[in-house]
Amino acid sequence: MAAAMAGTLHLGVATRYFETRRRSPRPLRLSSSNITGRVCVSSVARGRSEKGRVLSVRCDVGATEEEEMAFERGSDGGLTIVMKFGGSSVASAERMKEIVDVILSFPEERPVIVLSAMGKTTNKLLLAGEKAVSCGVLNTCDIDELRFIEELHLRTVAELGVDVTIISDLLDELEQLLKGIAMMKELTLRTRDYLVSFGECLSTRIFAAYLNKIGVKARQYDAFDIGFITTDDFTNADILEATYPAVAKRLHGDWITDPAIPVVTGFLGKGWKTCAVTTLGRGGSDLTATTIGKALGLREIQVWKDVDGVLTCDPHIYPKAEPVPHLTFDEAAELAYFGAQVLHPQSMRPAREGDIPVRVKNSYNIEAPGTIITKARDMSEAVLTSIVLKSNVTMLDIVSTRMLGQFGFLAKVFSIFEDLGISVDCVATSEVSISLTLDPSKLWSRELIQQELDHVVEELEQIAVVNLLQNRSIISLIGNVQRSSLILEKVFNVLHKNGVNVQMISQGASKVNISLIVNDSEAKQCVRALHSAFFEEGNLHEFHTMDPHWLRKLMRWQDPSSDQFMYSLVGIRVFLLTVCITTLVMVTQNWLMYCYVALILIIW
């Protein structure tokens, strides 16, 4: 009887939590641009005690003009910057102490802190969920990943000397959730998002408690509880416009009432229809940071990583990669989308819209200047900014004579990808063919990847001949594409010397990206060779541009007493003589003038 009651309890937890949230209901007042509507706000079951409930509130109260002006750049003594720290920056108690030192090293700032989950917690949560599906209810307590997560966070709490009760309820709730997953024998995308949200909720509670312990007043916030309203695309949700006034109203209002450093969970939001917890995709904490920066109109957004800013390429591929001092938002977005792990692909949009600079810094090396990202920069001398590699992509060659002179063919092709929810990265077309690349890593599992790709080919073969090419890589060259002819000339020379065949080439509409598709097995070799050619052998120069100091530079290396110097001087004089004679003859048609000038120059 007791076992049956326990099973019923676990099943109830698994099915009830979707309509709940962790904190008691608080109205979200979402308007600054005539936004009205209804938003679900709910509370989360804590362990076995609290009952979930659903509450609807009307969002029809806007910020006053004075409050909106007060948001601007911290002009009212309010918050000034966002400081976002990734998982490696808060991976242990020792690292958390170091991050506190980083924050306190900016005494003139009043920051909003955005944190990721500790270390590998997100991956461990996903593995725990997958194991719970098949392990059975009675064995969930023995899942290694669950034990790891509990031990990591309890050890961190003990080493920091904060009260363990700040996380005990969450750890109990996590265990109950895994038992519910085991009872249901499934892990849906919706459940998956809720499961991984525990990582950020744990890390922020610990960090805020430690700040308060050392005398720095802080307040913890769950992003889904302060107005982060998203689409209901679980695992890859997008921020909605209603988020900005809601977040500004909550954070600014709390700061004015009772100033304390906000410590906000990154990566999380709340679906606007389902009211369930959503995630913004891997690296989504960057998007959380830039969203807060735009909402509050802050002066700067700082993203603290474990590298010295955005690098010229992946240092794991080529250790000599160097920091890039300055990027535009467009360049940073292209870098992120095509594989750079430093930033979330969507994170540049709020910063660009708010015209707020983003600074990427190294939490292990705070003296390094990092990379500053702004709306524009001087591109007159720029050639190549960075080289990015995106591996394990799939390439499709689609050939059909039906394309010739027909309209709607491309629409048919892309509607197939839309139906399957597969995004297309690069596209190149001709009169009778289309080449494109897909990113199957965004699908949920290897089995689904192969199933979906087989279905794509089956659908496309009804209208065209299809060739599926897997294990390909995209090498993206980010820089000044206005000099693309010079870039490509050098690229193809380098790849030819290395015996690499380019299978597809695409230039992005952003005008800052050229992408090449090669075999996976050749990709890293290509990146190393290209980085060496562009960043170590010197940048390209446009030879048709005359340097006004060309003569001085030509002879600077020579000793005036040397024979080489004399030979160069004679050569220069002959060159000048030829130019003068040719010009005079063409302009004056006077051969007497020619003889006179020639005599003078020869004597000289």
Q: Which of 122-126, 158-162, 242-246, 431-435 has the lowest mean pLDDT?
A: 431-435
- Which range of residues forms the domain containing residue 515? 384-536
SS (H, E, C) 36-97: CCEEEEEECCCCCCCCCEEEEEECCCCCCHHHHHHHHHHCCCCCCEEEEECHHHHCCHHHHH
Say if 345 falls within a structural domain. Answer: no
How high is the pLDDT of residue 76?
55
Q: What is the mean pLDDT of residues 294-313?
A: 93
Say how many residues make up the chain. Answer: 604
Average pLDDT over residues 118-122: 93
Give the pLDDT of residue 100.
97
Looking at per-residue pLDDT, the higher value among 149 and 560 belongs to 149
pLDDT at position 584 is: 54
Residues 432 and 480 reside in one and the same domain: yes
Using an 8 Å Cβ cutoff, are 240 and 272 in contact? yes
Looking up residue 252, the CATH number of its domain turns out to be 3.40.1160.10
- Same-domain check for residues 463 and 557: no
**The predicted structure's pLDDT at residue 197:** 97
| Whole-number pLDDT of residue 425 | 83
The encoded tokens of residue 160 equal 């920091």
Q: What is the pLDDT of residue 208?
A: 98
Which of the four pLDDT bands, split at 50, 70 and 90, describes residue 453? confident
Of the residues 536, 566, 584, the one at which a domain ends: 536
When pLDDT is averaged across residues 477-503 and rounded to a whole number, the result is 85
- The pLDDT value given to residue 29: 36
**What does the mean pLDDT of the chain come to?**
79
Q: Which residue has the higher pLDDT, 158 or 7?
A: 158
**pLDDT surpasses 90 at 294:** yes
Instruction: Look at residue 373 and tell me if it is in a domain.
Output: no
Instruction: Please report the pLDDT score of residue 291 as a whole number.
Output: 97
Question: Both 181 and 134 in a single domain?
Answer: yes
Residues 528 and 556 in one domain: no
Report whether pLDDT(314) > 70.
Answer: yes
Least confident piece of the model among 222-231, 282-291, 331-340:
331-340
pLDDT at residue 75, as a whole number: 47
Please write the tens of the pLDDT for every residue from 25-47.
Answer: 333 333 333 333 333 333 333 33
Q: Report the C-alpha gap between 262 and 588 in whole angstroms.
A: 79
* Same structural domain, 176 and 247: yes
Nearest Cα neighbor of 558 from 546, 545, 567, 570 is: 567
Do 448 and 585 lie in a common domain? no
Nearest Cα to 443, choosing from 417, 415, 468, 414?
A: 417
Q: Which residue has the higher pLDDT, 368 or 564?
A: 368
Cα within 13 Å of Cα(57), Cβ side:
14
Confidence band for 548, pLDDT divided at 50, 70 and 90: very low
CA 63, CA 250: separation in Å to the nearest integer? 11
Rounded to the nearest 5 degrees, what angle is found at the Cα of 28, between the Cα atoms of 205 and 166? 15
Spell out the alpha helix ranges (H) of 326-408: 329-337, 348-354
Q: Looking at the predicted structure, is the pLDDT value of residue 171 above 90?
A: yes
Q: What percent of the chain has pLDDT over 90?
A: 45
With a cut of 70, say whether residue 59 has pLDDT above it.
no
88 and 173 fall within a common domain: yes
| Strand-pair partners of 374 | 328
pLDDT confidence bin for 408, thresholds 50/70/90:
confident
Q: What is the pLDDT of residue 580?
A: 60
Given this model, what pLDDT does residue 53 score? Answer: 29
In terms of domains, do 246 and 198 share one? yes
Q: Residue 556's pLDDT band (boundaries 50, 70, 90)?
A: very low
Same domain membership, residue 136 and residue 244: yes
Taking the C-alpha atoms of residue 294 and residue 277, their distance in angstroms, rounded to an integer, is 22
Specify the pLDDT at position 145.
Answer: 95
Residue 367 within a domain: no
Supply the pLDDT for residue 44.
34
pLDDT bin (cut points 50, 70, 90) of residue 84 is very high
- Same domain, yes or no: 164 and 272: yes
Which carries the bigger pLDDT value, residue 531 or residue 550?
A: 531
CA angle 594, 598, 599 (to 5 degrees): 120
Mean pLDDT of the 428-449 span: 70
What is residue 6's predicted lDDT score, i.e. its pLDDT? 44
d(CA 498, CA 214): 57
Max mean pLDDT among 33-47, 94-108, 383-397 falls in: 94-108
- For residue 457, pLDDT over 60 is answered with yes
Judgement on whether residues 106 and 231 belong to the same structural domain of the protein? yes
Q: What is the mean pLDDT of residues 575-586?
A: 57
Measured CA distances, 571 to 394, 557, 558, 567, 577 (Å): 57, 16, 14, 6, 10
Lowest mean pLDDT: which of 46-55, 105-114, 413-422, 524-533?
Answer: 46-55
Residue 339 near residue 78, CB atoms below 8 Å: no
- Overall domain count for the chain: 3
Percent of the chain with pLDDT over 70: 72
551, pLDDT greater than 50: no
Check if the beta carbon of residue 386 is closer than 8 Å to that of residue 323.
Answer: no
Q: Tell me, what amino acid is at 479?
A: G
- Whether residue 456 is contained in a domain is answered as yes
Structural domain contains residue 208: yes
Which of 536, 558, 580 terminates a domain? The answer is 536
Residue 12 falls within a domain, yes or no?
yes
Instruction: Specify whether 163 is located in the same domain as 205.
Output: yes
